[in-house]
Structure 1
Amino acid sequence: MDLEVTKAITDTWFQRLQENLDMDVAITGTGPSGLIAALRIAEAGYTVSMFESKLAPGGGMWGGAMLFTSIALQNEAVYLLDELGIPYQRYNDNLVICDSVLATSALIYRASRAGVLIHNGMRVEDVVFKDNRVSGVVVNWEPVVREGLHVDPLSFRAKMVVDATGHPCEVSEKVAKKNNITLNTPSGTVSGERSMNVTEGEAETVENTKQIYPGLYVCGMAANGVFGSPRMGPIFGGMLLSGEKAAKLIIEDLK
C-alpha cells in the first residue's frame, strides 16, 4: 500500500505538471488580485498556473489586519463577494466587512475549480527573456532558494506573465535589473511603494494594473510598488478589482 500511494501521487502530479509546462498565463504570487485574475482567465478558456513560495496560497488576505480576521471592501467590489458566495455585513454606506479566512478560502477554491494549477512551495526566481519579451518563468523550490543551495531551476513557458508578488514587486524588479530594460512606468524602472494612503492607494491599484513590458503585467500591490503609489492597508476592494482588470487586459491580448 505504501508504494501504491507514492505511485498514485507522483503519477498524477507529474502528468498534470507536464500538461502545464507551456501555458497561456503564469501568475507569480497568489494573493487576492492574482487569484481573481487567474479565475477570470481560466473561465475564459485559457491555461493558467500560479506560483506561490509559501505553503498556503492567499497572500496578505489571510491575516486580515493585525490578525483581526475582518477585512473591509468598498461598494464597488461587493458584486464579487455576491458572485463568489462570500457572506458579508454592511458596516456603513461605503464599506462592507467579511471574514478574511472565508474570503481567501473561497477565492482559492473557485480558482482551483476553474482549472487554475497552483504550485505552492515554488519560487519564481527569474523569467525567460527572449526576443525582447518576457516569455515564461524560471522556478525552483522555495527551500532551495532560501538555503542558497546550488541547484538549477526549471523553466515554464507562458505567453503572459503576471507579477502579483505584492509589496516587493519581485518579478518586475528582477526583469528590469537583469536585462537593462526600460519599463512602462514614470521612472522607467520599479519606483517602490509610498507610505499608506487608503483613498489614493485603492484607486491607483486599479489604475496601475497594466502591461509594463511586452509579456509582463502587474496587478495588486505589485502594481503600486512598480509605479510608486501608496499602500492601502487592510481594505481589499482595489485588490480584487485590480485582478479583474488584469484578466480583461490579458484576455484581450491573448485574443
Structure 2
Amino acid sequence: MVAARALAKAGKKVAVFERKLAPGGGTWGGGMLFNEVVVQDDAIAILDEFGIRHQAIADAPGYHTLDSVEMAAGLIFGAVQAGAKIFNSMSVEDIVFKAGKVNGLVINWTPVERLGMHVDPLTVIAEAVIDGTGHPSEIMKLATDKALIKLDTETGRIMGEKPMWVDSGEVSTVANTKEYYPGLFACGMSANNVSGGYRMGPIFGGMLMSGRKVAELVIARLGR
C-alpha cells in the first residue's frame, strides 16, 4: 500500500491485485491477534503521511505501538485516495514474459481458482511488476519455475526465508528490496524470502520502508 500510494502520487497508473477480500495480509491480526504492531522511529514519517496514529513506548526508546486495524485500514485508504486501484478477490496464475522482460500478469478470480473451474484468465500488461505477496514470493516463484528466470540473487533462484531474527530481518527487508529481473521487483517479506533474509514478526517499520524504497526504484526505472 505504501508503494501503491507513492507511485500513484507520482502520476503512475497503479493496480493492486489482492487474492482475498481485503488487502493487508497479516497486518490486521497484529501480534498473535492482540491487534498491536510495533514500528521504529525510521518509519514514523510514513505513518504520519497516512494519518495513522501511534504512541511511543515508554520503556523501549525508538519504538512506537499502534492499532493493527487502524494501520491496515489507513494504508488501504491512503493508497486508494492517492489514485491506486485495488482489485480484490483476484489471483495471479502466471506472468507475461516477452523478450527477456516481465511485462505483466495473468489473472483470474480467486473463486474460479479455488473451485477448479475451467475459465481462461486475462492478461494485464505492465511496465513494472512488484511482488508484494509476502512469505511465499508467489510471483517470483512463477517467474523462476515457468519462465526459468535467473534472479539477481546469490543462487539465481529463490533462496528461502530464514528463521526469526528481528533486528536482522528489519534491516534486510529494506536492503533486499530491489529489481530482481528486468520488470520484476520484490518488496517486504517477499524480498526477504527471495534473498534469504530473516523474518521479523509483528515489527512493521521495515515493511513500510521497503514499500517506499520499491516505489522509488520503479519511478527511477520508468522515469518521471
Q: TM-score, normalised by structure 1?
A: 0.85
Residues 1-255 of structure 1: pairs in structure 2 closer than 5 A? 35-91=1-57, 92-255=60-223
1:2-24 CA-to-partner distances (Å, cap 9, x unmatched) read: xxxxxxxxxxxxxxxxxxxxxxx
User: Based on CA coordinates, which of the two structures has the bigger radius of gyration?
Assistant: 1
1:205-227 CA-to-partner distances (Å, cap 9, x unmatched) read: 00000000000000000000101
1:120-167 CA-to-partner distances (Å, cap 9, x unmatched) read: 000011110000110011000001111222211000110000000000
Task: Tell me how far apart the structure 2 counterparts of residues 173 and 147 of structure 1 sit (CA, whole Å).
Answer: 22
Structure 1 letter corresponding to 2:160:
G
Task: Tell me how far apart the structure 1 counterparts of residues 13 and 63 of structure 2 sit (CA, whole Å).
Answer: 34
Task: Tell me how far apart the structure 2 counterparts of residues 43 and 247 of structure 1 sit (CA, whole Å).
Answer: 10
Shift of 1:81: 1.5
Shift of 1:181: 2.1
Shift >6 Å, 4+ stretches: none
Task: Tell me how far apart the structure 1 counterparts of residues 155 and 198 of structure 2 sit (CA, whole Å).
Answer: 16
Give 5+ residue unaligned stretches, structure 1: 1-34
Match of 1:32 in 2: none
What root-mean-square deviation, in Å, do the aligned CA atoms of Structure 1 and Structure 2 show? 0.7
Shift of 1:87: 1.1
Give 5+ residue unaligned stretches, structure 2: none
Q: % of aligned pairs identical? A: 51
Question: What secondary structure is seen at the aligned counterpart in 1 of 2:86?
Answer: strand
Structure 1 letter corresponding to 2:146:
K
Question: What secondary structure is seen at the aligned counterpart in 2 of 1:192?
Answer: coil
